[in-house]
Every structure is written in structure tokens, then in C-alpha cells.
């Protein structure tokens, strides 16, 4: 793959210095959904699929960006001194956003460069292809220009690019999982303090399977920002009676005792999800660490129900796909993953049941929705970095 991309690079940008190769994965979240921007816990892992970026410096101030995934866009060319957001630059606004934030933070990207990107994450599936491009760009720039930025800062800069340059108020989960992922492990991250721990994902005789609804979802125009505001309002009201900084600070008992200060019924159930999901995530990780895989799976199911009934971010496609999985023998747990409103589900399936699972769930899903689902066996990979030949 890498050699092919290097050849493509030379064909596209011409001979010269040898380019360097970088990679950033996609991510899947196992549990802890819509908790990150509420100061709670998440439990994602990096995937073995992601974004490759082949890159080298130029002698001038020109930046050339090309993606094999968007060949119709051709080479997007710009000048280091004009990093303004441009609609026409489409996907290339993601790398531009990262560069913009790095420069804003005083990091010296001192000249132009050229990059060829190739991503093998299904696009728009909610497996964080955009955060993957951001982190791939961060590691490219850090590597080419010896910026000496730590991975955690690259994670924060990438999130900032998404928040301020792209205009999506996402939390830190995606960029964190992509930056700090570790092969065969998931990360329990406290999004308030950024303290984290790795847990080996050992599922004995079962495997993680991602199922794609193939219902495309756009974060920016979805109800994501609305959910954030609902939770912020609930927090503001809770703060009038409790000394807390985020919903993630609350125990279930504290929430139950004080929830009536939240005046809107809708805001109250959104907060209820955030609080219970946070507690559920910590418990789920504890169970996994103890080898209680079915306990972990049950909490995944609870998580989906809460996202469906309280947070209302699932929608008919995700519900159909999860419901079909729940009806299948050999399924230990199933839930939506990511922002919701389409995208993917994540399932723990006994190895002996996988073939039947894919066939039967695929068929039921198609009957219910008219859409064809795709299935991927998850391989948990490492975080972003340079690929050494």
C-alpha cells in the first residue's frame, strides 16, 4: 500500500527528494457516547484502517494537497500566507484548518509542502475520517518541520481546527483516540482531566464487528450542536444547587436528588443520559478488565437504549440495525457508535456466529430499511505517526 502511494506521489508531484509516509487511524467508540463534551468518560479504540499521507517539503511557499479519495477535486493549491477557509477547497479545508491552528499557536511551518492523502475508512460512516485527516496532517507537519509538538498537543490542535475552522463543536474523543490509540487496546479517557488508561480488548471467543447503516450523516448539520446546548442549559441549572463543573462530576444519586431544578423536560432527559452513560462507561470498563464480557455487552445494550430513548440520536436505521443484532444468537452486545443519526453500530459477536450474523442481520436490515449494510471485522491499531520503511 505504502509503496504504491509513494509511486503515486512521484507520478503526481514529480521526482525530487524522497517523500515521507505518515498514517492516522480511524476510531470506533465501544461505550461512552455523547459524554466527552459533558466532561465524562469515553472508551474508544483506534482502527487499523485510516488515512495515509505521503509528504515532502517544497522550496517555496506553495502548498499542494491531493486526495486519492477525491480525484475530481484535483490538486488543491494554495499559498502558506493565505489559509482562509474556502468552500471550493472542500476536503482540503481539514488539513488547512490544522495548519492554520498550528501557525496561530506560533509553530513555525516555515515553507510550502505537498501531500498525497489516501483514506481507507468508509467515508461519512462515523468512524472519524475527518479527525483522521486532521491527525495525519498534524503528524506530517510535525515531522517535516521538526515542530516538536507532543501528541497530546496535536490532538488538541486538531480538535481546535474542527471546532473553530470547520465549525463543528465536537468533543475531544475522536482526535484523542486517533492520536493515542494502541494496538489491541481501548482507551478509558476522562475528558475533563484528560487522564487515560489503556485496557486490553480481550474478548475470548468473540470479535468486534462494525456494521455500517450506509445512511450518511453530517455532523455539522445534524442535531449535534443542539444536544450540546441542551446539556449546557441543564448544567447551568444544576450549578445553581451543586458545586460541579460538568455533568461528568455527578453521581447518579446526586443527579436524581437534584434533577428537578432542570426546568425543561427535554434538557433533563438529555442530562440523564450524560450522567448515566458516564457511570455506565466506567462500570463497563471495570467489567471488561475483569473478563466479564457479557456484562460489558449488556451495558453496551443499555447505552444504545439510552441514546435511543433519552438522547434521541439514533434514528430508524441505527435502531433497525441494532435491533436485528439483538435478535441474533451469539451477539453479546450491540449499540450505535459515534455521533449517531446514521453511521455505524459496534457489536460483540461470538466467533462461531459471525458468518450467520452478517447474513441474517444484513437481510433483516435491508427488509426494514431498504438499505444494504456493510460489515467490517475490527482490528484495533496504533495511533497516528510516521511509517518507517
Tell me the C-alpha distance between 113 and 59, whole Å: 8
Q: What are the CA-CA distances from residue 89 to residues 9, 23, 105 (Å)?
A: 20, 22, 23
Shortest Å, Cβ 342 to ligand GLA: 12
Cβ atoms within 10 Å, residue 329: 11
Q: State the catalytic residue, choosing from 7, 148, 153, 174.
A: 174
**Around Cβ 82, how many Cβ atoms within 10 Å?**
10
Task: Considering the complex, state which of residue 170 and residue 275 has its C-beta at the smaller distance from ligand GLA.
Answer: 170
Phi, psi of 245 (to 5 degrees): -110, -20
CB of 228 to ligand GLA, least distance (A): 8
Residue nearer to ligand GLA on the CB measure, 33 or 249: 33
Residue 175 C-beta: closest distance to ligand GLA, Å: 8
CA distance linking residue 266 with residue 270, whole number of Å: 6
Kindly state the smallest distance separating residue 209's Cβ from ligand GLA, in Å.
19
Which one, 63 or 269, has the nearer CB to ligand GLA? 269
Contact assessment for residue 328 and residue 356, using Cβ atoms and an 8 Å cutoff: yes
Nearer to ligand GLA, 36 or 350 (CB): 36
Question: CA-to-CA distance for 367 and 364, rounded, in angstroms?
Answer: 5
Calpha distance 248→251 (Å, rounded):
8
Q: Which residue has the cell 447551568?
A: 236
Q: Which residues pair with 21 in a beta bridge?
A: 54, 387
Q: What is the DSSP track for 274-322?
A: HHHHHHHHHHHHHHHHTT-HHHHHHHHHHHHHHHHHTS---HHHHHHHH
Q: Quick check: is 184 catalytic?
A: no
Shortest distance (Å) from residue 174 CB to ligand GLA: 5
Q: How far is CA 226 from the centre of its chain?
A: 19
Judged on CB neighbours under 10 Å (0-12, 13-18, 19+), 303 is: buried
- Integer-rounded Cα Rg, in Å, for the chain is 21
**Residue nearer to ligand GLA on the CB measure, 300 or 358:** 300
Q: Which of 53, 57, 70 is nearest to 2 (CA)?
A: 53
Collapse the DSSP code of 26 into the 3-class scheme (helix H, G, I; strand E, B; otherwise coil) and give the result: strand
- Minimum CB separation of residue 110 from ligand GLA in Å reads 31
Give the integer Cα–Cα distance in Å for 369 and 373.
10
Rounded Cα–Cα distance for residues 145 and 140 (Å)? 8
**Closest distance of CB 328 from ligand GLA, Å:** 25
The phi and psi torsions of 215 (rounded to 5 degrees) equal: -95, 115
Q: Which residues bind ligand GLA (CB under 6 A)?
A: 33-34, 36-37, 170-171, 173-174, 338-339
User: Measured from the CB atom, is 20 or 217 closer to ligand GLA?
Assistant: 217
| Residue 277: CB minimum distance to ligand GLA, A | 9
**Residue number with CB closer to ligand GLA (128 or 144):** 128
| 186, 44 Cβ separation under 8 angstroms | yes
Closest to ligand GLA by CB, 277 vs 350, is 277
Q: Cite the active site residues.
A: 174
Amino acid at each position: 500500500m505504502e509503496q504504491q502511494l509513494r509511486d503515486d506521489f512521484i507520478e503526481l508531484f514529480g521526482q525530487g527528494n524522497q517523500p515521507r509516509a505518515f498514517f492516522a487511524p480511524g476510531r470506533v467508540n465501544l461505550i461512552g457516547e455523547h459524554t466527552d463534551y459533558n466532561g465524562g468518560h469515553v472508551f474508544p479504540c483506534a482502527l487499523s484502517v485510516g488515512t495515509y499521507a505521503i509528504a515532502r517539503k517544497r522550496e517555496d511557499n506553495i502548498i499542494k494537497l491531493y486526495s486519492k479519495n477525491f480525484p475530481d477535486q484535483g490538486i488543491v493549491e494554495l499559498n502558506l500566507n493565505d489559509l482562509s477557509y474556502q468552500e471550493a477547497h472542500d476536503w482540503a479545508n481539514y488539513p488547512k484548518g490544522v495548519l492554520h491552528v498550528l501557525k496561530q499557536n506560533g509553530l513555525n511551518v516555515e515553507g510550502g509542502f505537498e501531500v498525497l492523502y489516501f483514506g481507507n475508512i468508509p467515508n461519512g460512516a462515523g468512524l472519524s475520517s475527518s479527525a483522521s485527516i486532521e491527525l495525519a496532517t498534524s503528524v506530517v507537519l510535525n515531522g517535516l518541520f521538526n515542530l516538536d509538538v507532543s501528541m497530546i498537543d496535536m490532538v488538541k490542535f486538531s480538535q481546535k481546527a474542527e471546532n473553530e475552522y470547520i465549525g463543528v463543536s465536537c468533543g475531544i474523543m475522536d482526535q484523542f483516540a486517533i492520536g493515542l490509540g494502541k494496538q489491541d487496546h481501548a482507551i478509558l479517557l476522562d475528558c475533563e482531566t484528560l487522564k487515560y488508561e489503556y485496557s486490553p480488548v480481550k474478548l475470548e471467543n468473540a470479535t468486534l464487528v462494525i456494521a455500517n447503516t450506509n445512511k450518511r450523516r453530517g455532523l455539522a448539520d445534524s442535531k449535534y450542536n443542539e444536544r450540546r446546548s441542551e446539556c449546557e442549559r441543564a448544567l447551568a441549572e444544576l450549578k445553581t444547587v451543586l458545586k460541579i463543573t460538568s455533568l461528568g462530576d455527578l453521581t447518579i444519586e446526586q443527579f436524581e436528588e437534584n434533577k428537578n431544578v432542570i426546568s425543561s423536560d427535554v434538557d433533563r432527559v438529555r442530562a440523564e443520559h450524560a450522567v448515566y452513560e458516564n457511570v455506565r462507561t466506567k462500570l463497563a470498563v471495570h467489567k471488561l478488565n475483569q473478563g466479564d464480557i457479557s456484562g460489558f455487552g449488556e451495558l453496551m445494550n443499555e447505552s444504545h437504549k439510552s441514546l435511543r430513548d433519552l438522547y434521541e440520536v439514533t434514528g430508524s436505521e441505527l435502531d433497525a440495525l441494532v435491533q436485528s443484532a439483538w435478535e441474533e444468537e451469539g451477539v453479546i452486545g450491540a449499540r450505535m457508535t459515534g455521533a449517531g443519526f446514521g453511521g455505524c453500530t459496534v457489536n460483540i459477536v461470538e466467533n462461531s456466529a459471525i458468518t450467520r450474523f452478517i447474513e441474517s442481520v444484513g437481510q433483516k436490515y435491508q427488509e426494514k430499511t431498504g438499505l444494504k449494510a456493510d460489515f467490517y471485522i475490527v482490528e484495533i491499531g496504533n495511533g497516528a505517526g510516521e511509517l518507517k520503511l
